[in-house]
Structure formats: C-alpha cells, structure tokens
Chain A
C-alpha cells in the first residue's frame, strides 16, 4: 500500500487529467498526477532524457539501473529492467548493472560511466580522474546529460521509496517509452 492515496482523476486539473490518461498506466505516473504544477514539466523532463538524448540507450539504462540499485529502489529497477529487456539487453548485462565494476560484460565507456555514477551518487562531486575518463567517451554535452539523468533518477528513487509506490500486479507489455513520447505531444 502506498503511503498516500492515488489521486482521483476527476479532481485533477484538465491538463494533468488528460496527460495522466495518455501515459502508460503505471503507479508512479498515477501518483505523480497529483503533484500539482510540476507534473507536466516533470514528465516532459523524463521524456526528453529517455527519448531525445544523445547517450546510447543501453548505456543510459545501465546508469538508471545502477542508481536504482544504489538507492535500493526495487520499483525503479523493476521498471527499467523491463525497458532494458525491450532494448534487447541480455539478462547477464542487466544483472551486471548491480554487480562489481569493472565488468567484462561492459564496454570501456560503460565501465567508465558506471564508475563515475557510483562516485557521483556517493560523493556528489565525482573525482577528477573518473570525470576525465567518462568525459573522454561522452564529451561535454554527454556529460551534462549523464549528470542530469543520474539526478533525475535520484529524485525518482526518493519519490518512489518515500511514498512506497507498489509494483503493478501485471507489467505493461512494452517499454513504455513510445507511449511517454506520444503522451507528451502538445504539452510544450
């Protein structure tokens, strides 16, 4: 049981109600619909970083899985394991996202980025050597995207765990990414 009741769609402002109806029907989005003026821009931010970013999609999902693991958010990991599978990642690589680094299942870039992620989550400011190594692979725009994705999922994990959002009884059949993209059309 979540710590808060899910909002009744009938009580939501029109823009939130409309967006909520179009998004994948998972509990985090149902709850977020009740968050007030941040709901639409927060979904726009998530959509931009999941659907419009420069980073390789598997690299991005490994980072998101790692943040979920470091924060102990089973819900976040569950949803992004599904996204990872739908992208075609092997079960071994998905499992390795919460294992020891460096992993032989990861590329040099993936190992560098995940080591940076660990340091960032633990220490806020990642060390100079880890920063330089990750930057070598990603460049300046990629580094900004990486830091913002780590930050978005630190927010998401805090939201999920503090509100005790429970897993759905049945998983949605898709990654959900295309549905998120389509739901955001017209919400600039």
Chain B
C-alpha cells in the first residue's frame, strides 16, 4: 500500500491536466499528481531520455534496470523489464542484469555499461577503469545521456520507494509506447 493516497487525476488543472492527457495509466503518474504543475518538468525529462536519445535502447534499459536493482526499486525493475522485453531483449539478458557485469551473455559494451552504472550508483564518481573504455566507445554525447539516465532513474527509485508506489494488477494495460517496442 502506498504511503500517501494516490492523486485523483480527474482533479488535475493547468499544465498538470494537459500532461495527464498523454500519460500512460500507471501508478507512478497517479502518485506524482500531488506535485501539481511541477509534474510536467519531470515527465518531459523522462520522455527525452526514453524517446529522443541517441543511446542504444538496449544499453539504456540495461542501465535503468540495473539502477533499479541496485536501489531496490521493484516497481522500476518491473516496468522496465516489461519495456526491455518489448524492445526484443531476451529473458536471459534481462536476468543477467540482476546477476552482475560478469554474466556471460553480455557483449563488451553491455558489460561496460553495467560496470559504469554500478560504479556511478555506488561511488558517485566513476573510476578511470570504468569511465575510459566506455567514453571511447560511446563518445561524449551518449556518455552524457547515459549518466543523466542513471541519475534520473536514481531519482525515480527514490520517489517510488519513498511513497511505496504499488505495482499494478496483473493484466493491467498501461499504454506505454516507446520507439522500437512490439505491440
């Protein structure tokens, strides 16, 4: 059970009401309604990360799910495993995100993203050993996207866990649509 009541989204006004017109039907967004107009800043940054980035979607979802695993956020892990499946990631690859960077199934870049995510979440500053090989591979723009993704989903984990946002009932239709997702 959530720690505070969900917001009644039918009562949203102003920028929040406009934001709700396009949002998927998910408990995280119902909970966010207490923030009023401030909701749109959070949503717009999330959208840019998920829709308009150059970072490969598989690498992005590995970083997001790993952040959720490290921060103990079941809701984040649940929702982004759903997205991972729908962009074509195998169950073995998804399971490996829980196991850690040394899991055999990762290719070299995926393993480096796992190591970098672990380092940034735990130590704030990534060490030279995790930073340098990835910077060379991804380039500076995608590296910036990656760290903003890890930081944003650290925020999301804190929000979900602190307010105890509930995972939706089985069979719930969220309506999440992202580039590259199969129906």
Contact = CB atoms under 8 A, between A and B. Distances in A.
Contact of B155 (A35, A135, A148): A148
Contacts of A59: none
Question: On chain B, which size bracket covers the interface?
Answer: 35 or more
B3 interface: yes
Contacts, number: 146
A32 B145 CA distance: 10
B49 A124 contact: no
The 10 closest A-B pairs by CB, nearest first: A151-B155, A155-B151, A161-B125, A125-B161, A35-B144, A37-B52, A45-B41, A41-B44, A41-B45, A48-B41
Interface of A: 3-5, 7, 31-32, 34-38, 41-42, 44-45, 47-49, 52-53, 71-73, 120, 124-126, 128, 131, 135, 140-141, 143-145, 147-148, 150-152, 154-159, 161-164
Contact of B4 (A47, A49, A143, A154): A143
Given A37-B53, A147-B159, A151-B159, A124 B145 contact: no
B165 to A, nearest CB: 11
B154 to A, nearest CB: 5
Nearest to B45: A41
Contacts of B152: 151, 155
